[in-house]
C-alpha cells in the first residue's frame, strides 16, 4: 500500500498555495529570502534523487541553508508540500498535440506521457491520488487527457472511468518496474543472473509432472523475456489490452447500448 497520499493536509491552506499564481499574497515587511517555488523545487530534487523516505522538512531546510522553522512560513508541512510537488510535476509534463489523430493514438500518447512522468519522478508512482490535489497542474492535465476520449460517443462518466482505468494501469506498471529495479539493485544481479544461480534449486522443486502448465509457460516466458518479468513487455501488452477494451466500449456506445 502507498505510504503517502495527496490531499492529506489542510485543504484551505493547500488550495491557497496551489493556486497562489491566481491569487498573489500581499505581505507587509521586508522581502523574504525564499519563495514557495524554491521550496518546492528543492523538495522535488530530493525526492527525485533519494525517494520520498528521504524527504523531510528538515532535509529541505538543510538544502536551502535555513533552519527548519523557516520553511513553515512558506509551507505548513510535508503533506501540503507533497501536493505542491505533484502539481508542479503535472504542470511541466509535455503534452502531445494529437488533434485530428485516431483515438488510439491519442490515448496511447496519454499513457506514454504518464509513463514518462513516473520515469522522471519515480516517487510519484508510490503516491495515492484517490483525492487528487486540485491545483492548476492537475486540472490542466485532466483537461488535456479527457480530450483524448472526447467525441467518441462515451458519456461523461464513461470518459472519466476510462481515463482512471488507463492511469491506474500506467501507475501499476511504473510501480512494478520500480520493484524490478530495486530487486536487481538489492541482489546485485540482473534477472538472468539470478535465474542462472538458482536454476539447480528450482529444477529440484519444480516437478514438470506436478506443474506441467506452469513449468511450460514459465519456461517459454522466461526464454522470451530473459526474465520472469519484463517491464517494457508488460506495458506494451497491457496497453494493447486496455485499448481493445476501450474499443469494445466505444463500439457499444455507437450501437446505443446502455451505459454501465
**Distance of alpha carbon 252 from alpha carbon 164, whole angstroms:** 19
Whether pLDDT at 64 is above 50: yes
Work out the mean pLDDT of the chain and round it to a whole number: 90
- pLDDT single digits (tens) 151-183: 999 999 999 999 999 999 999 999 999 988 888
Mean pLDDT of 237-255: 96
215-241 pLDDT tens trace: 888 888 888 887 778 999 999 999 999
pLDDT in tens, 67-123: 999 999 999 999 999 999 999 999 999 999 999 999 999 999 999 999 999 999 999
DSSP E strand boundaries for the chain: 4-5, 127-128
More confident residue, 9 or 258: 9
The pTM for the full model equals 0.88
The phi, psi pair for 44, rounded to 5°, reads -60, -45
Q: For residue 153, which phi and psi values (nearest 5 degrees)?
A: 95, -5
DSSP reduced 3-state for 257: coil
**pLDDT above 60: residue 24:** no
Amino acid at each position: 500500500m502507498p505510504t503517502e497520499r495527496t490531499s492529506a493536509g489542510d485543504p484551505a491552506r493547500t488550495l491557497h498555495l496551489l493556486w497562489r499564481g491566481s491569487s498573489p499574497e500581499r505581505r507587509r515587511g521586508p522581502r523574504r529570502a525564499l519563495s514557495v517555488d524554491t521550496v518546492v523545487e528543492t523538495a522535488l530534487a530530493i525526492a527525485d534523487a533519494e525517494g520520498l523516505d528521504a524527504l523531510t522538512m528538515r532535509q529541505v531546510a538543510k538544502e536551502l541553508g535555513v533552519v527548519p522553522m523557516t520553511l513553515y512560513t512558506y509551507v505548513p508541512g510535508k503533506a501540503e508540500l507533497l501536493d505542491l510537488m505533484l502539481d508542479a510535476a503535472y504542470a511541466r509534463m509535455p503534452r502531445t498535440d494529437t488533434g485530428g489523430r485516431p483515438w488510439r493514438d491519442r490515448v496511447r500518447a496519454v499513457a506514454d506521457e504518464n509513463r514518462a512522468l513516473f520515469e522522471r519522478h519515480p516517487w510519484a508512482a508510490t503516491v495515492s491520488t484517490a483525492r487528487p490535489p486540485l491545483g492548476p497542474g492537475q486540472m490542466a492535465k485532466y483537461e488535456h487527457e479527457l480530450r483524448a476520449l472526447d467525441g467518441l460517443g462515451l458519456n461523461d462518466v464513461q470518459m472519466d472511468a476510462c481515463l482512471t482505468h488507463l492511469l491506474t494501469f500506467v501507475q501499476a506498471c511504473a510501480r512494478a518496474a520500480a520493484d524490478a529495479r530495486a530487486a536487481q539493485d538489492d541482489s546485485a544481479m540482473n534477472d538472468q543472473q539470478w535465474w542462472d544461480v538458482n536454476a539447480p534449486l528450482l529444477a529440484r522443486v519444480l516437478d514438470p509432472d506436478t506443474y506441467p502448465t506452469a513449468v511450460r509457460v514459465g519456461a517459454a516466458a522466461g526464454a522470451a523475456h530473459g526474465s520472469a518479468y519484463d517491464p517494457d513487455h508488460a506495458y506494451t501488452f497491457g496497453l494493447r489490452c486496455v485499448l481493445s477494451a476501450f474499443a469494445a466500449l466505444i463500439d457499444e456506445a455507437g450501437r446505443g447500448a446502455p451505459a454501465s
